[in-house]
Amino acid sequence: MTVFEMIIIGLATVGTFFMVVSAVGIVRLPDVYTRMHAAGKATTLGISSLLLAAAVYFGQDEFWRMILLILLFLVTAPIAATSMARAAYRTDPERGKTLNYDEMARAEPPAGTIPEEADLYP
Amino acid sequence: MGTQETYLFDIALDVLIGVITLSLLLCFVRLYRGPNVPNRTAAFDAIALHSVAIIVLFAMRSSSTSLLDVAIVTAVLGFLGTTMMAQYLERAAGRGWLASDGAPRQSTSARVAAEVAEQDEEDSNRVLPAKRDV
C-alpha cells in the first residue's frame, strides 16, 4: 500500500468510525433529542471525513466537487436537525419532561399568532 | 491491477463498506421501533447519510466518478425529506391532526381531507386581526 492509499484508508476509517458511533447512538440513546444529537453531529463529521477521502482519491476536478459537498453537508445538517428537533418538541405530548433545562418552555407566541397555533407555545 | 498493493486497498474498502452497511442496519432498527414520527425521521436522516457514505465508498472501490453525482443528489434528497417532514409535523400539530403520542391519528385520507376542508372554511371565515406596528 502506498502512502497515498494509506491516507485515503485512514480518512475513510475515521469517517466509518463516526458513522457507526452515530448509528449506535441513534439506537441506544434514551429520547428523541439525544438521538437527534447523535444523528446530527457525528454523521456530519463522519460523512465529511469520507468525502475528504474521496476527494483525495479522485483528485483534480472531483476534489473541489467533494469539498463543495462537504460544505453542503455543513450547511444543511444543522438546519435539518434544528427544524426536526423543534417539530419533535412541539408534537411531544409531554413537552420535554426528560429535559433538565427547558428553554422553550418560556417562549412567548409572536404577535399575530392565530389561536390554533397559540398552544404550540406552552 | 493485480499487484499486492491495490489488492490490499480494495480489501480495506470492502471491509469499510461492510461495516457501514451493518451501521445502516442499526439505523433501520430505530426506524422500525421508534415510538413516534420524529424518532423515525431522525432515523431516516441517518439512513440517507449512510447511503451517501456507501455510495462514496463504492465510487472509490470501482473508481467511477459518475457515482459521485448520485451521492450529491442523494444528499440533497435526504435533506429535503427531513425538512419537509419537520414542516408537516409542525403544521399537523397546529391543526390538531396528531394523536397525543405525536403519531398521526388513525385517520383515513378522507377524514384528513374533511378536516382540511373544515379548517379552510374556518380560515376563510375568520376576520384577521389588524396588524400591529412592530
Determine, for residues A46 and B53 on separate chains, whether the beta-carbon distance falls below 8 Å.
yes
- Higher pLDDT: B118 or B82? It is B82
Q: What is the pLDDT of residue B111?
A: 65
Chain A with chain B: Cβ pairs closer than 8 A: 173
A118 falls in which pLDDT band (50, 70, 90)?
low
Averaged over B48-66, what is the pLDDT?
92
Determine, for residues A23 and B101 on separate chains, whether the beta-carbon distance falls below 8 Å.
no
Percent of chain B with pLDDT over 90: 46
Name the residue among B90, B71, B80, B84 with its Cα closest to residue A76: B80
Query: For residue A106, what is the DSSP state?
Result: G
How far is it, in rounded angstroms, from Cα A121 to Cα B1?
63
- Selecting from B8, B56, B93 the residue whose C-beta is nearest the C-beta of A54 gives B56
pLDDT at B28 over 70: yes
The full DSSP string for A47-104 is HHHHHHHHHHHH-HHHHHHHHHHHHHHHHHHHHHHHHHHHHHHHH-TT-STT-SS-GG
Strand partners of residue B104: B98
pLDDT at B14 over 70: yes
Least confident among A62-66, A90-94, B10-14, B77-81: A90-94
Question: Which positions in chain A touch B46 (Cβ < 8 Å)?
Answer: 22-23, 26, 39, 43
Write down the mean pLDDT value for chain B: 82
Q: What is the pLDDT of residue B2?
A: 52
Give the distance from residue B82's alpha carbon to the nearest chain A alpha carbon, in angstroms.
6
Determine, for residues B90 and A87 on separate chains, whether the beta-carbon distance falls below 8 Å.
yes
Q: What is the pLDDT of residue B89?
A: 86
pLDDT at A76 over 70: yes
A73 falls in which pLDDT band (50, 70, 90)?
very high
How far is it, in rounded angstroms, from Cα A51 to Cα A21?
17
Evaluate whether B103 touches B34 at the Cβ level (below 8 Å): no
Name the residue among A23, A15, A113, A118 with its Cα closest to residue A73: A15
Report field, pTM of the whole predicted structure over 0.80: no
The full DSSP string for A17-43 is HHHHHHHHHHHHSSSHHHHHHIIIIIH
Determine, for residues A65 and B68 on separate chains, whether the beta-carbon distance falls below 8 Å.
yes
Averaged over B39-67, what is the pLDDT?
92
Give the alpha-carbon dihedral of B50, B54, B57, B62, to 10 degrees: -170
Determine, for residues B42 and A47 on separate chains, whether the beta-carbon distance falls below 8 Å.
no
What is the chain A residue with the closest CA to B85?
A84
Give the distance from residue B20's alpha carbon to the nearest chain A alpha carbon, in angstroms.
6
Q: What is the pLDDT of residue B3?
A: 58
The reply to whether ipTM tops 0.90 is: no
